[in-house]
Amino acid sequence: MAKRRTPAPDTPKLSPAEQRNELRFILSFYAEYKWRALIVLVIMLMSNSISLAFPKFIGDLLDTIQHSALTMDMWSITGILVSLFLVQAIVNYYTSVSLATITENVLANLRSRVFDHILRLPLGVFGERRVGELMSRVTSDITQIQETFTFTMMQLLRQSIFLVGGIVFIVIRSVRLTTPVLITLPLIIFIALVFGRRLRAISTQVQDILAGATTIVEETFQAIESVKSFTNEGYEHTRYQNRLSDYVRLAIRAAKIRSVFISFILFAMFGGIAGVLAYGVYLVRLNELSIGELLSFILYAFFVAGALGSFAELFGQIQRTLGASVRVREILNEQPEDTEAHDDRRRLSEITISTMSFRYPSRDEVYALKEVSLHIPAGARVAFVGESGAGKSTTAALIQRMYEPTSGSILFDGIPAHTLSLNTVRSNIGFVPQDIILFGSTIEENIRYGKVDASEAEVLEAARMAYALEFIEKMPEGMATVVGERGVKLSGGQRQRIAIARALLKNPPILILDEATSSLDSQSEYYIQQALEHLMKGRTTIVIAHRLSTIRRCDRIFVFHNGGVADQGTHEELIADTESLYARLCRLQFGDPEGNR
């Protein structure tokens, strides 16, 4: 059975050391802005500390009621308060904008790095991971990190200042009133840690399920024609709804845990404050405490209670971010291909495959190819034929180094393929697949994809040689026509000719044509065959064919069967053996042992 990597239903718990590693991983992206961010954080620390003066001045202001001779002090205190908060408002605006600017740039760089890394991953990774899952890593997971660093970290810093400063000031104001508050703190902190760990585990599962839901949407939209053809809209909706139900169930479970904790915090802290307030009133009556000092103490106690109450949500958000960070790091830890361009302009032409075997990473218990050996001389035109699943397309993919052989070797001009850079190998190969997928941009941009720096004249010439101008010029917008998602606005034959024009523009020394004329009508096929005949001259060409009429003029035909090369030779040599697999394939298609129509 094929192995597929799917999101784990139960995420392993992260140890404190692992959590610190995840946090360091995220903070590492701030290295470029570390000094600017540090300055902003220091200014923010000073600005938020101003708020701690508020309860003291309010208490002092209230105490002036008992001293009518201190009227000027009341206005002085009021002026100081207004001035302080005006300065704080201005500084908060600057720090908020500065930190948001830094974070947005950092997260944009992280998105760019993750996207670039995914692009450079081996093709096998895309067979193990679904597209929707990879999209979720770039979108929802990084958005989770973004929310934390644009809002949560600022709030955490602010509430930490209120907590520490509030505790210091209530101790200064009254040790007797402070004692009950400090006794409850260790219990609150312990419960916060327990709830935080549970929230992290559930939040990571929520991210996994959301990634799965995104995958369903992606796959459904990509195959929308099949969905509608089989009238499976209801089935796809049910699939998506079931995944959303799992998401809602876990999200509600997480909300319940947060709500229980917050409710406990509110009850414990504010209930405690009510008790402390009653005790404080008693001390005022004994003249051991002024009304202003009691009010200041209560305000500071509210600061402490509010900070503790917010920590549950803030820690939960950070835990969700650490869970998202784990998923992002999983992608970044995948070993990418080295696809960087190297100063290697050699043109490869001869291909030799020696006892090559291969197993797909997602199906490593079954050999897709077993001990394949073949030789393709420079400039030769060869064909790969055989039943579906015989190994033709897999061999072509290995020649392009989309995968590496499990054993055996591939040589280009006598040079082992693994000693050549991927860029060198792939830049020498032009590929026209049977299943054409175009980008949703214009016809010109799709053709230019074969050579991004091509001139307009080169693009037009490639389109002309592929007989694509015939339909392009009939369109009102010509080359600027938008082809739509995956090229849905064009017919199959038109998409095929765009792909051929793209390969023509690349002008490679090696061509791989996977049923390049399969989607064309008879007239278009004739014209394309003429263009391909011209294109293949002097180039090494591999034609993967199911329609055997297209490969009779090849220099050599390799007949694939059960992952190996069962036979090889010219059309005449292979057809001469009436019991050969090739002869049987010809009879099945044409009812004629000579392979004639």
CA 112 remoteness from chain centre? 10
Q: How do residues 233-283 score in pLDDT, each as one tens digit? A: 888 888 888 888 888 888 888 788 777 777 776 777 677 777 777 777 877
Instruction: Determine what percent of the chain is predicted with pLDDT higher than 70.
Output: 84
DSSP type of residue 442: B
Position with higher pLDDT, 155 vs 508: 508
Alpha helices by DSSP H, listed for 400-542, are 422-427, 443-448, 456-465, 469-472, 492-506, 522-536
pLDDT higher at 455 or 592: 455
pLDDT score of 9: 36
Return the pLDDT at 14: 60
Q: Is pLDDT at 6 greater than 70 in this prediction?
A: no
pLDDT digits (tens, 9 = 90+) for 40-87: 888 877 777 777 777 777 777 666 665 554 444 666 766 777 777 788
Judged against a pLDDT cut of 80, whether residue 544 lies above it is answered with yes
Best mean pLDDT range from 172-186, 302-316, 371-385, 457-471 = 371-385
369-376 and 407-412 strand pairing: unpaired
Q: Is 405 helix (H, G, I), strand (E, B) or coil?
A: coil
What's the whole-number mean pLDDT along residues 172-199? 71
pLDDT-derived band at 168 (thresholds 50, 70, 90) equals confident
The pairing of strands 351-358 and 556-561 is unpaired
Q: What is the dihedral of CA 151, 154, 157, 163, to 10 degrees?
A: -60
Lowest-pLDDT range of 47-61, 103-117, 285-299: 47-61
pLDDT in tens, 332-388: 888 888 777 666 778 898 999 999 999 987 777 889 999 999 999 998 999 999 888
pLDDT of 527 reads 67
Residue 431's closest CA among 494, 492, 506? Answer: 506
Question: Residue 412: its pLDDT value, please?
Answer: 95
